[in-house]
Amino acid sequence: MSNTQKMIKAAGFLMAANLVSRFLGFIRESLMAGLFGKTGATDAYNTAFILPDLLYWLLVGGVLSAAFIPVLSEYIAKEKEEEGWKVVSSVTNIIFLFLCGLVVIAMIFAPKFIALQVPGFSPENKELAVYLTRILLLQPVVLALSGITMGILNSYKIFWPSAIGTVLYNACIIVFGALYADSGDARSIAGFAFGVVIGAAANFLVQVPALRKVGLRYYPLIDFKHPGVRKIISLSLPIIIMYTLNQFQVIVNSNLGSALVPGSLTAVWYSYRLFQLPVGIFALAIGVAVFPTLSEQAALKKLKDFLDTISGAIRLIIFITIPISIGMVVLRFPLIRVLFEHGEFGPKDTESTAIPLFYFALGITAQAIIQILPRAFYALQNTWMPVILGVVAMAASIAWMYVLVGPLAHGGLALAVTLGAILQMFLLFAVLRRILGKIDGRRITGTFLKTLAASSFMGIVVWFWAKFLTPLLGVGKLGSSVVLASGAVVGVIIFALVTSLLKMEEFTMAMEMLGKKIKKGRHR
């Protein structure tokens, strides 16, 4: 089996697992919307994630995304596993000790952080945000263990344990959120926060058997002088800086949003989760699947294979995400009604959430592509350049927030994020092409233009279809479900017909992958 086939197979499994996980995620969001609506309580819950997420990405996320997998993959490719395990042990011990110390400090200073983060909140919502933040600060420590375990297994090109872990993570949040919640008591939203911590623990525990199977070797040491440890630290440093600076964008977003109509931040959050669905299911799955292969190809100096892997991944992402982007724009109202409109979440909340979703959806393809391009830099063990470009894009996005929040309110916050993603994508393309000498631009551009043409035609047909059905079926849950489901089916059929007529290579790849899955299912 070729590297490309292995990549597609791994990506296919990750997509399926991510689809289940994201589906559970939307059950969770729908449950919360029904119980608490789009209120100050949900604003406080969403705000409470900011500090824990900052700590996680400060010490763990950057290490895993930029340095851990490339360095460990290099040790494995060069058959130096024993040294690799010493590096893993040292890095794990360093992260765990620093993270525990920072969590204690964060719990003490949580009130001051929340006051800075959301000055427009009422005193009651600030107090609730502090309470939820202190619960969620337990998550980064547990999530660090599951993240490091995932990084080790991914270096061995084993992906299924972490994929199952994400499903368990969302299932725990749903169960504990439902058990604890009381729509008459805002503080009962803490059930979802407890579910997050327990879900993170489940995510880690489900990966342990696979970790033992690859021959886990742990050393109680901290060796800052080891070349592998020093390389991971040096590669991680720019990513840590970027994620820290990126919190300025989150702070600006929350600051501006907290001064708008109550519930505006929740509308942005719900729409952000919807637009992240295809990014998480498809782009992230492909990015995770190709990263170890890219790291191995870079370590062994197989640059032609490296370029082919990048090009194939990007073209596949373009082929998948452009029709989803246009479909989400056309069907955003029935989509929000089906997922969120019940209980305390009413028609006005649907209209409010549809505004940022429109602007977010325009950036799905750009957001998807920037799940791949930085990984190409990381595989080449060049972490500074994507960080510099990311910071430039982030600064532009923050500037656009200030400009656009006035005329477009919370829609302006979403559009600013999309514009920043598009700028970052073009900058990454330009610099990577300069480093590699070429980037297969002709084929990528051809795929983009053909996919855009097919998707635009599909979007027009689906728009007329939805416009015809909605007056007949109404905007209730059942009618919206029929419009959404039938519109999606019509869109898939139209897109498949047009792209097959255009004889697109990516259509053939997708059909081959689907055919293999069907054959396997029948064989069983």
Share of the chain above pLDDT 70, in %: 91
Residue 302 Rama label (left phi>0; alpha psi -120 to 50; beta):
beta
Q: Which amino acid is at 446?
A: G
Would the pLDDT of 61 be above 70?
no
Q: What is the predicted pLDDT for the residue at 521?
A: 38
pLDDT at 183: 63
Least confident of 168-172, 234-238, 241-245: 241-245
pLDDT of residue 185: 72
CB 28 within 8 A of CB 192: yes
C-alpha dihedral sign at 265, 267, 270, 275: negative
Q: What is the pLDDT of residues 1-19, one digit of tens each?
A: 555 566 666 676 677 777 7
Provide the token pair at 35: 């119980």
> Is the pTM above the cut of 0.85?
no
User: Structural domain boundaries of the chain?
Assistant: 1-33+263-439, 39-261
Mean pLDDT of 64-82: 73
Which tens digits make up the pLDDT trace of 297-318?
888 888 888 888 899 889 989 9
d(CA 279, CA 361) in angstroms, rounded, equals 11
Q: How does pLDDT run across 133-150, given as a tens digit for each residue? A: 999 999 888 888 888 888
CB 340 within 8 A of CB 270: yes
